[in-house]
């Protein structure tokens, strides 16, 4: 997008007042989206994201700016304006920039821009039809598809140039069921850092559509969820949002480095039960949260966060790593050039154990089976988390009985992992969008079926012990 | 705007029946302090052009942050291709203009003219005041965020509207540890119109008080409680309720307020207005379709007064757009600007006295996942205080409040006068409600 010579000039302007590091992040992303509402194409949009972010570091201070003006004049002006926030003498000077090869592990086999959009429309309409025809209580369906092709280039004062290409596609299915003055919605949104082959060969959208409609209809007849502390069996796949919220965010250097996390200074200490091991792995081929390099240019890795219950590693970016005397471990991400990068999760999941999901249920006398989880959030300083159960069932005498609605799981991240007493063998990852200071980024959450011996369930159905 | 003329000309040549361009230029400036040291400093300028055009009887759209010699061709080609894929039966509409527009000059010149150094100095002083307010405070982070935007809509029918707005927000978070090693963190924010008038002491006291008053908090017993909800909680639930007055949701059978026009949908204590023309950071005198906005009553004494429309949904119902068409997710959705709930007569203390025995819910989290606007069901993590004899008692945390938003607003006994402007523009007071289900221990 810009030449090495221009990058060198801009970086040298940025560091003329004493910054000890500077970086230019350039991005061009084409995004297309198609929305089918009740079987009709109601929106179809293309959008072009284009710009550059320049970051200057000096000790523990960072200065960041961005612009869409990528002309020589525009970039030099931004670098000059940013450098005006420091008042020292030049400390570093960049002479040459060398390209670092990062690999091309996640390229699509069938790029979206070579695949006819009419065929995507046809696929969405079919899925809509499946949802609508599932039951007469389905009153509305939406099927959306979005894909993007993002090219990034990074130049920094270590004299390095990195680039990466990220192609992602995702479908989102929503079914709205209504009966007797009640409305329930359900959704599923499979995606990958792959091309159209993912939707042609790996996922069956019509099957997903059927399951979405079924869940929405099931929840119409769900009873109020009992509340109070009880054992909770959390289903595989998106159930991993528990780990993501309860623990993952609190392992990010952005909070750990400042002592603002419940897990600050806890490395090598026991933070989970012995049967819990968890990783953050941005190297999985074609996974939703993967990348060849992170957004600072570091090679991505498989970071083992927790090993047999012991805290093994944080997620570290180079800047926050300065407070911790650690180097970045390939976990730096950002939504776009409009965001300063920081430590984030990529594909984060609990590793499989030995029990089968059926054994775990059969072994539970009374509790909640949280089959499908919604999103959640956490306060990293206190570790308090909450997340919604989108599809839940009561477990009585080792059997799943009836569906329950309106449940939220709350607790403290410090405790919930210590209370995991069963880990299943059915590891599955699902796709989500994770929001934090560096924006909304695609991230996989995942886990096998697990059981937490005791967790607070918030519902409207009253205390289970008092009827 | 001369440079956009050729796009209209080219569009006409390419058989695009009508074209609309929206151009946004933004300048942002922000910085933050961590323990009174500046740790981040940001500035930016950005541009985006959003285009919609009618081609072959259908609407196509495209956006670009790049503006160079290829942008015109990109926009026109994308509009045409996207229009060809559309098969919605809705008639595509580009607006010829409202009879009158209530334009106001809301640009804060003083804020724009104040130097960055001056802003940094003032915020540093505020950050320091928070740390000084209590020995228990271990960490303070204070963020200053300022944004200015120039927004223009142009279309083939000669419509041309521009607006220039700016605002500043300060946001702090304070962490405190007590002697037992318990950690609490709370946040506070203010919209700033004049940096010379920041109520430094009051702001510092507010956030510190909020943080340390939560020490020793534990869950309360599960059960149904009479309750007062803070303005923040009221705002979040009201926002979910109002998503159901979108004409699109009603027309597509996804709203529980369908067929409820003119009917009582909540307690007669509740009156809600939308005032896009109010002078504040959210001011809008035209929506994203170029329709003039106006102030209106949405709910009067519990009775639903109107649905809100964009051009498309209004056309379908044979009414006029209410000026609520706002762009989201690549199409014109329906949104609200400057929603306010009419305050009652009681201040917060009087409201708590009226409550007598029950619980005050101060904070909630997780509304993006635990609050379902269509079914109205919610179950949210919450914290607050037990109320005994009308006074705040022990702090409560790690509980959930659960119920249905329609029931909550039906159960309102009284509305407070402690109106607060929320970060999403909702101006709402505390409310006293008959009962709420709490899960604790």
Given this model, what pLDDT does residue A467 score? 33
Q: How many CB atoms lie within 10 A of CB A223?
A: 15
Test B439 with A183 for CB contact under 8 angstroms.
no
User: If you average pLDDT over residues B305-323, what whole number do you get?
Assistant: 97
pLDDT given for residue A227 in this prediction: 85
A340 near B CB under 8 A: yes
Structure tokens at B45: 């300028």
Distance from C-alpha of A123 to C-alpha of A173, rounded to nearest angstrom: 12
DSSP character for A330?
A: S
Inter-residue contact A226 to A404 (CB < 8 Å):
yes
Q: Which residues of B touch A178 (CB under 8 A)?
A: 253-254
Domain A4-220 carries which CATH code?
3.30.2290.10
Percent of chain B at pLDDT above 90?
Answer: 87
End-to-end CA distance of chain A: 66
Q: Which residues contact B66 (CB under 8 A, 6 or more apart)?
A: A28, A48, A50, A68
- Tokens 């505390």 belong to B430
pLDDT for B181 equals 81
Coil vs helix vs strand at A235: coil
Using a CB-CB cut-off of 8 Å, the residues of chain B touching A265 are none
pLDDT surpasses 60 at B312? yes
Q: Which two tokens stand for residue A58?
A: 């000096």
User: Is pLDDT above 70 for A363?
Assistant: yes
Domains of chain A, by residue range, sit at 4-220, 223-466
A326 token code pair: 């650690």
Give B394-418 pLDDT, tens digit per residue: 999 989 999 999 999 999 999 999 9
Lowest mean pLDDT among B14-18, B38-42, B233-237, B286-290: B38-42
- Tokens representing B43 are 């500035």
d(CA B77, CA A53): 29
What's the rounded Cα separation, in Å, for the pair A370 and A380?
Answer: 24
pLDDT computed for residue A377 by the predictor: 81
Confidence check: pLDDT of B392 > 50 = yes
Separation of alpha carbons A349 and B91, rounded Å: 47
Check whether A226 has a pLDDT greater than 90: no
CB contact under 8 A, A140 and B254: yes
Residue pair B428/B238 in contact by the 8 Å Cβ criterion: yes
Three-class SS of residue A361? helix
Map residue A337 onto helix, strand or coil.
coil
**Length reported for chain A:** 467
pLDDT tens digits for range B71-96 = 999 999 999 999 999 998 888 999 99
Number of H helices, E strands in chain A: 10, 24
Query: In angstroms, rounded to a whole number, what is the distance separating the alpha carbons of residues A285 and B345?
Result: 61
**pLDDT per residue as tens digits for the range B341-362:** 999 999 999 999 999 999 999 9
Q: Which residues of A touch B185 (CB under 8 A)?
A: 260, 379, 381-382
pLDDT for A224 beyond 90: no
Instruction: Identify the pLDDT of residue A462.
Output: 65
> Angle B157-B159-B162 (CA atoms, 0-180°, nearest 5)?
160
Collapsed DSSP state (helix, strand, coil) of residue B243: helix
Instruction: Give pLDDT, residue B90.
Output: 84
Which domains does chain B carry? 2-211 (3.30.2290.10), 217-237+343-439 (no CATH), 241-335 (no CATH)
Cβ pair B378:A406 closer than 8 A: yes
The CA-to-CA distance between both ends of chain B, in Å, stands at 63
Whether residue A250 contacts residue A315, with contact meaning beta carbons closer than 8 Å, is answered with no
Chain A contact set for B330 (CB, 8 A): 33, 35, 43-45, 47
The answer on pLDDT for A343 being more than 50 is: yes
Asked if A185 is an interface residue toward chain B (Cβ–Cβ < 8 A), one would say yes
All residues at 6 or more sequence positions from B222 whose CB lies less than 8 Å from its CB, including other chains: A227, A228, A462, A463, B438, B439, B440, B441
DSSP A65: E
pLDDT at B1: 61
Nearest residue of A to residue B374 by CA position? A183
Q: What crossing angle do the helices spanning A205-220 and A117-134 adopt, rounded to 10°?
A: 30
Min Cα distance A292 → chain B (Å) is: 26
Tally of CA atoms within 13 A in the half-sphere of B203 that contains its CB: 24
Q: Check if the beta carbon of residue A408 is closer than 8 Å to that of residue A370.
A: no
Residue A466 has what pLDDT?
A: 39
Strand partners, A368: A232, A394
Chain A residues whose CB is inside 8 A of the B253 CB are 139-140, 176, 178
Tell me how far apart the alpha carbons of residues A185 and A432 are, in angstroms, rounded to a whole number.
18
- Does the CB of A85 have a partner CB in chain B at under 8 Å? yes
Report pLDDT digits (tens) over A13-46. 999 999 999 999 999 999 999 999 999 999 999 9
Residues of A in contact with B369 (CB under 8 A): 374-377, 386-388
A106-115, A385-394, B308-317: least confidently modelled range: A385-394
With both helix axes pointing from N to C terminus, report the angle between A72-83 and A4-14 in degrees, rounded to the nearest 10.
20
Query: What mean pLDDT is predicted for residues B270-285?
Result: 95
Contact: A458, B88; criterion CB under 8 Å: no
3-class DSSP assignment, residue A281: strand
Nearest to B348 by CA among B414, B400, B408, B411: B414
A237 phi, psi to nearest 5 deg: 80, -120
Between B281 and B394, whose confidence is greater? B394
pTM recorded for the entire structure: 0.91
Contact residues for B254 (Cβ-Cβ < 8 A; gap 6+): A139, A140, A176, A178, A183, A185, B374
Average pLDDT, chain B: 94
For residue B370, give the 3-state DSSP assignment: helix
Q: What is the pLDDT of residues B162-214, one digit of tens each?
A: 999 999 999 999 999 888 888 898 999 999 988 888 889 999 999 999 999 99
pLDDT tens, residue by residue, B255-266? 999 999 999 999
Check residue B2 and give its pLDDT.
63
Nearest CA to A26 out of A438, A443, A344, A334 is that of A334
Question: What is the complex's ipTM, to 2 decimals?
Answer: 0.90
Nearest-CA neighbor of B48 among B23, B84, B83? B23
Tens-place pLDDT, residues A408-461? 898 888 889 999 999 999 999 999 999 999 999 999 999 999 999 999 898 777
Confidence grade of residue A340 (pLDDT, cut at 50, 70, 90)? very high
Task: Give Cα B228 distance to the centre of its chain.
Answer: 22
Q: What's the confidence (pLDDT) of residue A465? A: 47
């Amino acid at each position: 997008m810009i030449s090495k010579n221009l990058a060198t000039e801009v970086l040298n302007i940025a560091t003329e007042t004493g910054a000890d590091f500077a970086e230019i992040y350039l991005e061009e992303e084409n995004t297309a989206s198609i929305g089918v509402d009740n079987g009709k194409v109601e929106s179809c949009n293309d959008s072009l994201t284009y710009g550059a972010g320049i970051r200057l570091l000096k000790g523990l201070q960072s200065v960041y700016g961005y612009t869409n003006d990528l002309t020589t004049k525009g970039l030099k002006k931004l670098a000059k304006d940013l450098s005006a926030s420091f008042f020292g003498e030049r400390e570093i000077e960049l002479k040459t920039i060398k390209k670092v090869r990062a690999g091309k592990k996640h390229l699509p086999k069938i790029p979206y821009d070579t695949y006819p959009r009419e065929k995507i429309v046809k696929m969405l309409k079919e899925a809509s039809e499946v949802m609508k025809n599932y039951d007469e209580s389905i009153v509305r369906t939406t099927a959306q598809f979005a894909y993007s092709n993002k090219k990034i280039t990074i130049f920094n004062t270590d004299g390095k140039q990195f680039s990466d290409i990220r192609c992602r596609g995702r479908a989102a299915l929503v079914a709205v069921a209504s009966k007797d003055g009640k409305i329930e919605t359900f959704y599923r949104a499979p995606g990958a850092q792959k091309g159209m082959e993912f939707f042609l060969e790996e996922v069956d959208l019509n099957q997903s559509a059927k399951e979405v409609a079924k869940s929405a209809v099931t929840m119409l007849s769900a009873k109020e969820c009992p509340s109070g502390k009880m054992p909770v069996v959390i289903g595989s796949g998106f159930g991993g949002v528990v780990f993501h919220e309860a623990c993952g965010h609190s392992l990010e250097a952005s909070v750990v480095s400042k002592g603002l996390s419940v897990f600050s200074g806890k490395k090598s200490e026991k933070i989970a039960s012995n049967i819990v091991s968890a990783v953050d792995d941005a190297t999985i081929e074609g996974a939703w949260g993967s990348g060849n390099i992170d957004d600072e240019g570091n090679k991505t890795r498989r970071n083992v966060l927790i090993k047999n219950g012991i805290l093994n590693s944080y997620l570290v970016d180079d800047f926050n790593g300065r407070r911790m005397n650690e180097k970045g471990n390939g976990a730096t991400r950002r939504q776009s050039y409009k965001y300063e990068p920081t430590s984030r999760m990529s594909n984060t999941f609990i590793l499989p154990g030995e029990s089968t999901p059926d054994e775990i249920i059969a072994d539970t006398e009374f509790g909640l089976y949280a089959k499908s989880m919604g999103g959640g959030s956490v306060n990293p300083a206190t570790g308090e988390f909450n997340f919604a159960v989108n599809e839940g069932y009561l477990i009585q005498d080792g059997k799943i009985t009836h569906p329950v609605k309106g449940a939220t799981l709350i607790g403290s991240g410090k405790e919930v992992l210590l209370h995991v007493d069963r880990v299943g063998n059915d590891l599955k990852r699902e796709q989500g969008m994770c929001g934090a200071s560096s924006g909304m980024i695609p991230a996989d959450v995942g886990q096998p079926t697990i059981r937490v011996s005791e967790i607070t369930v918030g519902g409207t159905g009253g205390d289970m012990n008092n009827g | 705007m001369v440079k956009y003329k050729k796009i209209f000309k080219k569009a006409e040549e390419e058989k695009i029946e009508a074209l609309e361009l929206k151009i946004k230029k933004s300048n942002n400036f922000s910085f933050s302090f961590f323990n009174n040291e500046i740790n981040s400093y940001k500035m930016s300028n950005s541009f985006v052009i959003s285009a919609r055009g009618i081609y072959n009887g259908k609407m196509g759209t495209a956006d670009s942050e790049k503006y160079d010699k290829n942008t015109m061709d990109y926009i026109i080609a994308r509009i045409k291709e996207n229009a060809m894929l559309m098969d919605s039966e809705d008639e595509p509409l580009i607006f010829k203009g409202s009879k009158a527009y209530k334009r106001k000059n809301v640009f804060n010149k003083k804020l724009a003219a104040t130097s960055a150094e001056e802003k940094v100095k003032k915020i540093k002083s505020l950050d320091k005041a928070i740390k000084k307010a209590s020995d228990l405070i271990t960490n303070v982070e204070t963020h200053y965020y300022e944004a200015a935007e120039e927004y223009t809509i142009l279309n083939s029918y000669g419509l041309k509207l521009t607006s220039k707005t700016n605002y500043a927000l300060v946001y702090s978070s304070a962490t405190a540890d007590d002697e037992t090693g318990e950690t609490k963190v709370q946040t506070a924010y203010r919209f700033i119109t004049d940096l010379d008038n920041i109520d430094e002491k009051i702001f510092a006291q507010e956030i510190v008080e909020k943080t340390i008053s939560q020490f020793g908090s534990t869950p309360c017993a599960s059960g149904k409680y009479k309750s007062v909800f803070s303005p923040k909680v009221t705002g979040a639930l009201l926002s979910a309720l109002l998503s159901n007055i979108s004409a699109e949701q009603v027309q597509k059978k996804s709203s529980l307020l369908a067929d409820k026009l003119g009917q009582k949908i909540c307690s007669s204590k509740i009156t809600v207005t939308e005032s896009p023309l109010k002078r504040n950071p959210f001011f809008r005198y035209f929506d994203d379709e170029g329709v003039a906005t106006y102030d209106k009553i949405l709910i009067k004494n519990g009775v639903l007064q109107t649905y809100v429309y964009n051009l498309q949904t209004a056309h379908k119902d044979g009414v006029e757009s209410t000026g609520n068409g706002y762009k989201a997710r690549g199409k014109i959705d329906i949104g609200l600007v400057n929603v306010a709930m009419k305050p009652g007569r009681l201040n917060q203390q009087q409201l708590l006295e009226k409550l007598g025995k029950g619980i005050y819910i101060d904070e909630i989290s997780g509304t993006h996942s635990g609050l379902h606007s269509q079914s109205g069901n919610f179950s949210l993590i919450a914290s607050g205080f037990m109320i005994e004899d009308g006074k705040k008692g022990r702090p409560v945390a790690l509980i959930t409040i659960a119920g249905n938003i329609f029931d909550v607003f039906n159960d309102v006994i009284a509305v407070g006068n402690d109106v607060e402007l929320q970060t999403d523009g909702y101006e709402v007071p505390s409310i006293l409600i008959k009962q709420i289900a709490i899960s604790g221990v």
